[in-house]
Structure 1
Amino acid sequence: MQFPGFIRPASAADLPAIDALLRDAFGGGAEVALIHALRKAGAMRGEQVIPLGDGIIGTYALSAMVAPVGWLCLAPVAVAPDWQGRGHGRRMVAQLAAWADQTATPVVVLGAPAFYGKAGFSSAAAARLTSPYPVAQTLLVGVGGAVPQVALRYPAAFG
């Protein structure tokens, strides 16, 4: 029996596996197109994976927000369908949230508050943000106890 490895930065060799994982996890190519556009635009700031043998079972991407400068956006986050429900997604996101808090790097995510909240992101911290997307599904980490009042501008790839 194989066990997943430690979360690590994605390498160039992982890119085809990331594409396949995103297609499997989301049932289509929209997220693959998103990460390709983020990479092409130079907006990608980091991609992490959970390795398993010669493949991967989890991934997430961080891109630079257009505004506020210095903020990051988490998207997409994916776990292989056969590995979902075992805590691997929460493990990835919680590790990122801990890093964001320790380095005071604001990271915003648009997603399910119940999932991201358990991993350390806060809906309350995002309450005063303005966004082109629903603020009720926007969460924030890396700002300490602050509740900033800023307008979010995502990279053009988010269209």
Structure 2
Amino acid sequence: MKPGEEDAVERLLLAAFETDAEAWLVRKLRKANAIAGETVLPMGDDIIGYFALSKMVKPKGWLALAPVAIDPEFHRQGFGKRMLGMLTEWAKITSTPVVVLGNPVFYERCEFDRSAAAKLSGPYPIEFTMLVGVDGTPEEELIYPAAFNGV
């Protein structure tokens, strides 16, 4: 993501989700300097895809993937899977743990692993928590950045 693309990302998040919760989350994460990186998928002059990686409070060095958005006009065309495929490959190569909470059907197709997250504990349902970038099944407590509170 380049400086100046924040407004386009906000428009995408508002179009992609039923509420403004994800746009609110990104604003709070940016304000708290909790974002490790933001990736966009441009198409022409538009941004049609986006994801953010946030620094987990605990375990140190882990990242949280949220939100992930694809412009509704481009759903079911493989853009989300391709974007997350690059992320999961990077996480594996660098051994960087990335945790995501969401629809297992989608995220497991993108190589996130629910069984790797089976021994994690945290504020969100573990049955919807998946992990990539680790070997085995770590036993860790997940503490997300404060911006996630109330989401």
TM band (smaller chain): over 0.9
Write the deviation string for residues 94-137 of structure 1: whole angstroms up to 9, x where unpaired.
11000000000000000011111011100010000001100000
Once residues 125 and 40 of structure 2 are traced to their aligned partners in structure 1, the CA distance between those partners, rounded to angstroms, is: 28
Q: Are residues 1:108 and 2:99 paired?
A: yes
Q: Are residues 1:43 and 2:34 paired?
A: yes
Identity fraction in percent: 50
Q: Give the TM-score of the pair, scaled to structure 2.
A: 0.97
Once residues 85 and 144 of structure 2 are traced to their aligned partners in structure 1, the CA distance between those partners, rounded to angstroms, is: 22
Q: Which segments of 5 or more consecutive residues in structure 1 lack a partner in the other structure?
A: 1-9
SS at match of 2:41: strand
Match of 1:79 among 70, 80, 88: 70
Q: How does 1:29-68 map to 2 (within 5 A)?
A: 29-68=20-59
SS at match of 1:92: helix
**2:115 matched to which residue of 1?**
124
Measured on the aligned residues, the alpha-carbon RMSD in Å equals: 0.6
Q: Are residues 1:156 and 2:137 paired?
A: no
Q: Which segments of 5 or more consecutive residues in structure 2 lack a partner in the other structure?
A: none
**1:147 matched to which residue of 2?**
137
**1:4 matched to which residue of 2?**
none
Runs of 4+ in 1 over 6 A off after TM superposition: none
Deviation at 1:27, TM superposition (A): 2.5
SS at match of 2:5: helix
Aligned residues: 149
SS at match of 2:113: coil
Q: Partner letter of residue 127 of structure 2?
A: A
